[in-house]
């Protein structure tokens, strides 16, 4: 909420579109209704956007408004109402090679890319469409159809917001800025995934085994992402993907709409600009000088160049002078139409890496590497990169990847604890503050009071696609360990006592496998082995006394609130993970965080 009067949305880098973890102003809330009644978070976000603007214009019509609308589209999971996905049945049946070529030709025809642009070569790992098995084709097509439906649905919701502004007679004088945040992602892997957390858990997708679940794609029972081949189509005509510094990672469409001040409607601008230029553009339009000192603290200078000069001067030369790039040791720099870029290999000396050189004014898709032809030009750009890196806090370079995530928690962080104690009823806990039980052994106990009629969820973590839940039903204690919809369920061999009692779950990791044991009054009363221990369980957090969002088990209907009294939940992590485990977990955390960017 910092910098805003109101907030409504999700805080995570991604969320389930049908069962989102919502925050309203500064507190968590449940979605107002479920997907059975037609809920989708993009529609909800636009509804709240309209409400906030309506409230502001009713109370202070003399004041302008600033709205920042951040949807989940088209980040994974690709989920949309069924009718939007079905619109695209068969639209991509020609396969990603032909669709990419057609998209490239359409871009040329519409003038979206320069007329001399060449289509970048196929990315490594992307097979020709005709070489795929029939099952891989079917799966990939369904994933791409869900992606397209998701985008179409988002477009419709943005249209609703624009129609509202038009009805309010505010559209012509409202500056609209619409953009994506990066290129298409590669987290779907070679095949695509039914549940993206398979990727984060290093579990390969079994395309043959999920053919009976194709109709789930795009709905609440999926958490999908597209394969490399369709991601490459999304980045046409460029190469590589999100997290790369080549065009496929950093080039994005930007739409600016301001009818009262931009006269040349529906036209293109080709000046080079960067994400850091948006804030200077808004400040320039509003004639606001950013302050250098706030409450006695020096402020970091705003880095960027206003784009306002392009609004009514389509052919003016770019006023942008220089732009540096860096990500995990990958480096790049743009200067006056020239771009130098290098791919870093973790652990390799930076000075030994080969840089590439492109003239973007003549080579939009970075097709022709000119490093050998213009070595002096390249050397100058490399030297400039080091200067810019020093100016903007990039140095020292740090090529750690997984090691940067999930290892050293800040003091006081809930994730740094060995024990967690909860006194319900409590609000839903987002993943950032949920107990860190992934990939480790733990003991969970619940002190409860109940009659023989009381039942419901004790704890729940995750979604119906992956997670775990512990509940009482028909006087039996039940634990469901849901590994990507493969449910491993243990039920107590004795009934749960009435009145006051203590029940528990012990989870013992044994290599990559695990053993789950149920405890009633300190006695084991049932156990099973699970074939795989999830390292990263879900981006959806933790509930006590209910399953507030996506139902993790098929055995009940959420929220299935516990009707008795839970006095206390205690979770104890049995031991610290080995260094090798920590490194593995950190790498998984890194992959998840990168997918959220």
- In sequence order, the β-bridge partners of residue 333 are 324, 340
Is 272 a domain residue?
Answer: no
For the chain, the domain total comes to 3
Q: Which residues contact 419 (CB under 8 A, 6 or more apart)?
A: 570, 571, 572, 573
Select from 357, 356, 335, 342 the least CA-distant residue to 397: 342
Tell me, yes or no, whether 373 and 491 share the same domain.
no
Tell me, yes or no, whether 235 and 382 share the same domain.
no
Tell me, yes or no, whether 591 and 468 share the same domain.
yes
Tell me, what CATH number does 324's domain have?
A: 3.30.1120.10
Tell me, yes or no, whether 327 and 391 share the same domain.
yes
Tell me, yes or no, whether 100 and 216 share the same domain.
yes
Give just the sign of the alpha carbon dihedral 274, 74, 462, 510: negative
Tell me, yes or no, whether 393 and 431 share the same domain.
no
Is 49 a domain residue?
Answer: no
Task: Please answer whether residues 590 and 406 qualify as being in contact, where contact means their C-beta atoms are separated by less than 8 angstroms.
Answer: yes
pLDDT confidence of residue 105: 98
CA-to-CA distance for 210 and 213, rounded, in angstroms?
5
Domain boundary among 183, 218, 243: 243
Orientation of helix 41-59 relative to helix 134-167, angle to 10°: 10
DSSP per-residue codes, 299-342: PPPPP----GGGSS-TTSPP---EEEEEETTEEEEEETTEEEEE
pLDDT confidence of residue 593: 44
Is 151 a domain residue?
Answer: yes
Tell me, yes or no, whether 128 and 169 share the same domain.
yes
Is 74 a domain residue?
Answer: no
Tell me, what CATH number does 185's domain have?
A: 3.40.720.10
Task: Please answer whether residues 257 and 161 qualify as being in contact, where contact means their C-beta atoms are separated by less than 8 angstroms.
Answer: no
Tell me, yes or no, whether 107 and 207 share the same domain.
yes
Task: Please answer whether residues 581 and 439 qualify as being in contact, where contact means their C-beta atoms are separated by less than 8 angstroms.
Answer: yes
Select from 183, 246, 233, 217 the least CA-distant residue to 595: 183
Tell me, yes or no, whether 187 and 325 share the same domain.
no
The residue assigned the tokens 């059975």 is 36
Burial code (b: 16+ CB inside 10 Å, e: under 16) for 243-259 equals bbbbbbbbbeeeebebe
Return the DSSP state at 63. S
Is 281 a domain residue?
Answer: no
Tell me, yes or no, whether 500 and 588 share the same domain.
yes
CA-to-CA distance for 181 and 70, rounded, in angstroms?
10
Is 442 a domain residue?
Answer: yes
- In sequence order, the β-bridge partners of residue 324 are 333
Domain boundary among 243, 263, 282: 243
Q: In terms of DSSP H, where are the helices of 3-125?
A: 41-59, 82-86, 96-110
Q: Encode pLDDT of 241-280 as tens digits.
A: 998 999 999 999 999 999 999 988 889 999 999 999 999 9
CA-to-CA distance for 468 and 507, rounded, in angstroms?
12
Select from 185, 325, 175, 333 the least CA-distant residue to 254: 175
Structural domain boundaries enclosing 356: 314-402
Burial code (b: 16+ CB inside 10 Å, e: under 16) for 545-574 equals bbbbbbbbbeebebbbebebebeebebebe
Mean pLDDT in consecutive groups of 10 residues from the start of the chain, 597 residues: 86 92 93 96 98 96 94 96 98 98 98 96 96 98 98 98 97 95 92 90 91 96 97 97 94 94 91 96 94 92 94 94 93 97 90 95 98 98 97 89 55 76 95 89 97 98 96 98 96 97 96 95 96 91 96 96 98 68 46 46
Is 490 a domain residue?
Answer: yes
Domain boundary among 219, 243, 267: 243
Residues in the chain: 597
Tell me, what CATH number does 496's domain have?
A: 2.60.120.200
End-to-end alpha carbon distance in the chain: 20
Tell me, yes or no, whether 377 and 461 share the same domain.
no
Instruction: Please tell me whether the overall predicted TM-score, pTM, comes out greater than 0.85 for this model.
Output: yes
pLDDT confidence of residue 19: 96
Is 65 a domain residue?
Answer: no
Tell me, yes or no, whether 397 and 323 share the same domain.
yes
Task: Please answer whether residues 269 and 132 qualify as being in contact, where contact means their C-beta atoms are separated by less than 8 angstroms.
Answer: no
């Amino acid at each position: 909420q910092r910098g805003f009067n109101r907030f409504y949305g999700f805080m995570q880098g991604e969320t389930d579109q049908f069962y989102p973890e919502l925050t309203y102003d500064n507190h968590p809330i449940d979605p107002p209704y479920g997907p059975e009644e037609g809920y989708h978070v993009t529609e909800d976000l636009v509804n709240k956007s309209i409400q906030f603007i309506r409230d502001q214009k009713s109370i202070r019509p003399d004041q302008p408004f600033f709205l920042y609308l951040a949807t989940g589209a088209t980040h994974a999971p690709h989920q949309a109402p069924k009718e939007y996905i079905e619109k695209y049945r068969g639209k991509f049946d020609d396969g990603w090679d032909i669709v990419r070529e057609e998209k490239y030709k359409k871009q040329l025809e519409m003038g979206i890319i320069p007329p001399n642009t060449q289509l970048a070569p196929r990315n490594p790992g992307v097979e020709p469409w005709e070489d795929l098995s029939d099952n891989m084709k079917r799966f990939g097509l369904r994933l791409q159809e869900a992606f397209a439906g998701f985008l179409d649905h988002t477009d419709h919701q943005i249209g609703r917001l624009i129609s509202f502004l038009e009805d309010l007679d505010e559209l012509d004088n409202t500056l609209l800025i619409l953009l994506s945040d990066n290129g298409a992602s590669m987290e779907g892997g070679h095949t695509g995934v039914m549940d993206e957390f398979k990727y984060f858990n290093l579990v390969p997708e079994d395309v043959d085994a999920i053919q009976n679940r194709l109709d789930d794609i795009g709905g609440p029972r999926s958490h999908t992402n597209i394969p490399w081949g369709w991601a490459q189509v999304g980045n046409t005509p460029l190469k590589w993907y999100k997290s790369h510094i080549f065009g496929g990672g950093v080039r994005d469409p930007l739409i600016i709409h301001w009818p009262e001040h931009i006269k040349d409607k529906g036209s293109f601008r080709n000046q080079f600009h960067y994400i850091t230029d948006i804030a200077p553009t808004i400040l320039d339009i509003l004639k606001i000088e950013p302050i250098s000192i706030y409450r006695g603290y020096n402020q970091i200078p705003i880095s960027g160049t206003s784009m306002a000069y392009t609004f009514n001067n389509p052919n003016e030369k770019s006023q942008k002078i220089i732009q540096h790039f860096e990500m995990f040791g990958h480096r790049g720099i743009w200067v006056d139409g020239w771009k130098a870029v290098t791919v870093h290999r973790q652990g390799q000396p930076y000075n030994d890496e080969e840089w590439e050189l492109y003239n973007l004014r003549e080579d939009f898709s970075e097709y022709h590497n000119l490093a050998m032809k213009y070595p002096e030009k390249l050397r100058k750009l490399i030297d400039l990169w080091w200067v810019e890196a020093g100016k903007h806090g990039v140095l020292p370079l740090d090529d750690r990847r997984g090691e940067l995530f999930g290892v050293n928690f800040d003091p006081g962080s809930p994730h740094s604890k060995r024990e967690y104690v909860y006194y319900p009823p409590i609000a839903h806990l987002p993943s950032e503050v949920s107990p860190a039980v992934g990939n480790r052994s733990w003991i969970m106990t619940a002190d409860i009071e109940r009659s023989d009629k009381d039942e419901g969820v004790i704890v729940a973590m995750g979604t119906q696609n992956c997670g775990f839940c512990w509940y009482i039903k028909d006087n039996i204690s039940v634990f469901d360990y849901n590994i990507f919809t493969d449910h491993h369920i243990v039920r107590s061999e004795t009934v749960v006592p009435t009145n006051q009692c203590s029940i528990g779950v012990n989870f013992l990791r044994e290599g990559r496998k695990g053993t789950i044991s149920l405890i009633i009054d300190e006695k084991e009363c049932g156990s099973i082995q699970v074939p795989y221990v999830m390292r990263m369980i879900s981006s959806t957090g933790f509930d006590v006394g209910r399953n507030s969002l996506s139902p993790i088990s098929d055995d009940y209907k959420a929220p299935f609130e516990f009707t008795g009294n839970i006095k206390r939940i205690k979770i104890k992590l049995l031991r610290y993970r080995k260094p090798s485990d920590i490194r593995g977990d950190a790498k998984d955390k890194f992959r998840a965080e990168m997918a959220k960017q």
